[in-house]
Structures are given as C-alpha cells and as structure tokens.
Amino acid sequence: MTSIFARRGAVADTTAEPAPVPEAQAADLLVGPGLIPLGAGHAPVAPTSTSDAGYDVDVLAALVLKTAYSMTKFTAAEIAKRMCLSSALVSVLLDQHRRDKLVEILGEAGQFDFRYVMTGLGHERAQRAFDVSGYVGPAPVSVERYAEVLQWQVDHFPPVSADAVRAAVRDLVLPDDVIEVAGLACASARSLFVFGPAGTGKTTVGHLLHGALAGDLWIPHCIGIGNSIVRIYDPQLHETRQTPETPDPALRVDRRWACIRRPFLVAGGELTLDALELSYSTAHRYYEAPLHLKANGGIFLLADLGYQRAAPLDLLSRWIFPLERRVDYLTLSTGQKLTVPFLLMLILSTNLEPEKVMNAAFLRRMGYRLHLDHPEPEAYRTIFTRYAEARGATVPPGMIEALFARYEAEQRPLRSCEPRDLIERARDICGYQGRGFELTMDVVDRAWRGYFGSRLATEE
C-alpha cells in the first residue's frame, strides 16, 4: 500500500466532532505527556489527526480495512467506535481508501457521515492485511508513548503512607516491625521477598498491600511496533474505572487507553519461563503481553516460589536485569527486540529456606526481605477471636486454652491461617446439621478432626 503520508488532496474533516483545540491552547492544558486534567486525575487526550495518533498511518489504514471486512455496510462512526479513534480521523483514512477504490460511498448516513461498502479490491487488500496481522480492535499505541506515559504516572502517584499500609493490613495480626518493612517496600515500590513457614500469611500480606496503593492508571489496550501488536489491557485481570467527561468539549479522552485500578496480578506454581515472554498466537497473529508487563504500575506477586516447574534460580535470573534497570527486553517472533518498562512492585513469597530458592546475587537485588514466623499464643488468640466475631459467633471461655492444649499434645505449631480454617469448618458443620452457627467444644472438635485428620503432626 502506498503511504498515505505521500499523498495529497485528502478531504477536509466534515464530521460533527468538536474542532481541535489550537496547539498553543492544548499545550497549556497538558499536565503530562499528552495528558489533560480529568476530575481529580488526568487522562490521555485523543489524537485529532493521523500524525497525532503517533503510529504508522499505513498500519492504521490497514486496521480500518480489517475492521470493515466483516461488515456488509459501515460508517466512519462505526469503524471509529471499534478502533477507539475519532470519526474525523477515520473519515480521512476512509476517504483515501475511496480514492484507492477500496471502498465506495453508498450515500449519506446522517448530516456528517456516509455509509460505505467495501469493494472487491478492498476485500483482497484486507485479506492480505490479515495475513500480516490478525489483530482487530482498538488502534495501537507506540511502545515509546506507552513508556513515556507510564513513567509520568508512576512518578505522580500519591505517596504510600504508613497509615494507608496499616489500614490495608488491619485484618491481620502482625508485629509492628513486620508492618513497617512491608510498608517501606510498598512506599518505595521496591521488590519484597517474604519467607517463613506455611500458613503464616505471606501471600495474604502481598494481597492486602495492594489496598495501600492510591491512584488510577491509564494503560493502552495494545502497543506495538509496525504490524506487531501486543495486547496489554486484559478485562480478566484489570479492574476498569469509570471516568468523568473532559472539562473542555473540544478535548476528548483517547479511548485507545483504558483507566484501571492499579493492577494486582498473582502467579503461583503454574508459572513457567515461557509465561514471562511474549505469547504469539499463530491463529490470531498478534501477541499477548506477559503477566509482569500487564502488572506495570501495580504489584506482581509470585507465590510459592520454588514450586514452579522451572528451577527457582532460572526463574529469578529472568528478573535480575529488569529489577536493576527498570526495563525489560522482549523478543518478537521475527527476532526483533522490544524494550518495555518494568515499573512494578515485585513480591516473592516462599515457605522454603531462602538459600534453597535464591543465591546471594539475587538476594542483594531484592529491595526488602520479610520473615513471617508462627504466631505467638496471644496473636493466635486475637486472630481466632476476631474471625469468630466477624462470622457472628462468640468464643466460649476456655475454648482457646483447650485448643492450645491440643496443639501441644499433637505437637503442632500454631499457624495464622488455622483460626479461620477451623471456624469455617465449624460453620460447615452447623450448616450441614441444619442449625444456626455457634462455636461449641463439640463443633470445634469435629472441625479439628475434619481439618487435621487423626494423624499427629510428626506423621504428616
């Protein structure tokens, strides 16, 4: 396809959308790289021309054809909605397709739009475009633009305060020094290595720290280089936020970007080395971003380190360079390298001894290290009582002392997760018997036997 940049005589914008804000005025409104004020935050401003879109115009033109391919008839507004671009911009691309005899105008579709149909030549051109890339959806954003906007947002997030961290982990019973270390890691966005016995709340701490992160995040639906498209936004993993209208009707939010809650992504024993690279779909001919790229601006938690199919040191070696340089290198199927930002808080948790899953070189690169041990008896008592009250039950006098005696008799260590587990099984028993939930010694005894079985801890 001949480059649209080399052509002359494109039709003027005749859509009903607001006229672009003068460049000097638009510059005065910007609060960041292409970002305008929006409510209490900001938003990417929509491009008003093909050059403003910041992406190869021939790729955008091909995306117009692919979008229209399955439609018998279409308008600029319909194509624009699917591509998340303005009708004005799409109208310019469609007019050039009309000049190239790839589409034809059937008639008016309103005061400022036309109804189009694709020609036989247009179908052939679209099929050739599909052979290169099967991607259809919101128009891509350049990698450079993504990195620039992400960095600005990370630099301008509200700071994480000690009060916010304490509020986020308030449901846990943790020593003050543990909360402090977790808070320092969260506030600095440095990596955090959490280790200790099973059942001490390591993964839960990682989950709850996400609640201390303030501010929303704008991410592109997809990024790319030329025809190589990488999908970033994932509706299964990202929580979308509602955004207000722009303060100036002549400015529009760039719908190629989605406003989300700062992400929290977690992986466990299923994680493989391949999952940390671009995933190319031969059927769809575009890429899916790895989890850590989708977690940019938020938290990525790798739980149960040491239980993955890949050796722990091989897995961790993959992150040594990104942790130091704050960028990562991904490889396209063509062999081309893609430099992407690595701006996230990485949390690793394990119940194995640190020296079994890490070497000194990687430990040195971890921002903070946090050891979570078995709870003291008073902490266990507090956890049990709080959880029972949250479930609407009262703990009878002497019950927790009886549990302590049973732990000692069966040589079991106290674990922070077990008050919740025992109480939940007590609820199961009451529900199974068709009666209201209450904690009695008989019910807790049944819960204990159902949870631990009859073997001693030393036999497990």
pLDDT tens, position by position, 418-441: 999 999 999 999 999 999 999 999
pLDDT tens, position by position, 201-225: 999 999 999 999 999 999 999 999 9
Name the residue type at position 112: F
Q: Do domains 56-135 and 157-215+262-371 have the same CATH topology?
A: no
What is the CB-side half-sphere exposure of residue 7 using CA atoms within 13 A? 17
Residue 192 has pLDDT above 90, yes or no: yes
| Residue ranges covered by each domain of the chain | 56-135, 157-215+262-371, 377-459
In a 3-state reduction of DSSP, which class is residue 349?
Answer: strand
- Residue 245: closest CA among 38, 5, 387: 38
Longest CA–CA span in the chain (Å) reads 89
pLDDT tens, position by position, 69-80: 989 999 999 999
CATH class of 157-215+262-371: alpha beta
Higher-confidence position of 252 and 7: 252
Q: How far is CA 122 from the centre of its chain?
A: 37
pTM, rounded to two decimals = 0.86
Cβ 226 vs Cβ 220: under 8 Å: no
| Count of other CB atoms within 10 angstroms of residue 328 | 22
d(CA 221, CA 257): 6
Name the residue type at position 313: L
The reported pLDDT for the residue numbered 110 is 76
Assess if CATH 1.10.10.10 describes domain 56-135. yes
pLDDT tens, position by position, 375-388: 999 999 999 999 99
pLDDT tens, position by position, 326-365: 999 999 998 999 999 999 999 999 999 988 888 888 888 8
pLDDT tens, position by position, 272-297: 999 999 999 988 899 999 999 999 99
pLDDT tens, position by position, 164-190: 999 999 999 999 999 999 999 999 999
Residue 11 has pLDDT above 60, yes or no: no
Distances (CA, A) of 453 to 176, 322, 457: 35, 45, 10
Cβ 425 vs Cβ 445: under 8 Å: no
Average pLDDT, the chain: 89
The reported pLDDT for the residue numbered 252 is 86
pLDDT tens, position by position, 17-63: 444 444 445 556 778 888 988 888 899 999 988 888 999 999 999 99
Distances (CA, A) of 11 to 7, 21, 121, 337: 11, 20, 22, 38
How far apart are the two ends of the chain, measured CA to CA in Å? 68
Cβ 375 vs Cβ 200: under 8 Å: yes
Residue 456 has pLDDT above 80, yes or no: no
Q: Where are the beta strands (DSSP E) in 196-276?
A: 216-220, 222-225, 228-231, 257-261, 264-267
Higher-confidence position of 454 and 276: 276
Cβ 212 vs Cβ 306: under 8 Å: no
Cβ 207 vs Cβ 299: under 8 Å: no
d(CA 368, CA 387): 30
In a 3-state reduction of DSSP, which class is residue 20?
Answer: coil
Q: Give percent of the chain above pLDDT 90.
A: 75
In a 3-state reduction of DSSP, which class is residue 9?
Answer: coil
What lies within 8 Å, CB to CB, of 288 at 6+ separation is: 230, 231, 278, 279, 280, 281
